[in-house]
Amino acid sequence: MTTPGMPHRVLVMHAAPEAFAPRTRLLFQKLGYSIVDPDELSALVASGDCERPDLRIVDERSLGEVPEDSGPQVPIVVLSGRYGVTGADPRIVGAVRRPAGLHELYRLVQQVLEDTPRASPRIPTHLPARCRVGDREWASSVLSLSENGCLMRSPETPTLGTRLEMSFALPRSGVLRIDAEIAYQLVPDLGIVFNGTSPAVRDAIKSFVQDALATR
């Protein structure tokens, strides 16, 4: 049983703190996942706050120390070196290179645990933006933002599939200009997918999202 105050997913780590990039555990907590060590898990189970973990995050050098589960096996994500993992352990569902960063680990955890996985974390925002399609240009607002796209509120209603140029400013990065496409409607708003963003733009959005999560 998970109480209302508990994150909706519990991940137990069999790895040293340095196997994670800075702030990864904190940011996962903000996203509704709790990364705990085995002793913390035991306390949660004893208090009735958690029956079993949803997933184990295991340093490849500690795989032999992971206990067998009673009942269904808990899936394992391995923190590995550059070559990933090999072997026949059926519990292993994937690997992330050490030190595990938020975005890489989040993508994999989403794929393993969620029915409708997201590729990257998304945060609510209220960012003024400009949009342009051909000779038309107008003001809009970015209501939520991730590395891969955004939710936009717009006085204009271009058709689904419309390609457009977007620009908006982030505090430490200045104005970002992005090629985008209208992928869906979430009435009255528009779901936008970013196309071909440069590494610099992706890094700027990643940093903004992580900073925003950390200060929630």
Name residue 40's amino acid. Answer: E
Q: What's the domain range around 35? A: 9-113
Band of pLDDT at residue 69, cut at 50, 70 and 90: confident
Model confidence, pTM: 0.72
* Least confident range of 15-24, 80-89, 139-148: 80-89
**Last residue of a domain, which of 113, 130, 164?**
113
Give the CATH number for residue 17: 3.40.50.2300
d(CA 33, CA 56): 12
pLDDT tens digits along 157-186:
889 899 999 999 999 899 999 999 999 888
What does the pLDDT read at residue 87? 64
- Looking at the chain, the whole-number percentage of residues with pLDDT higher than 90 is 59
Mean pLDDT of the chain: 89
What are the tokens at 8?
A: 């909706």
Is the domain of 25 the same as that of 101?
yes
Q: Are 168 and 105 in contact (CB under 8 A)?
A: no
The total number of structural domains that make up the chain? 2
- Domain membership of residue 64 (yes or no) is yes
| pLDDT at position 213 over 80 | yes
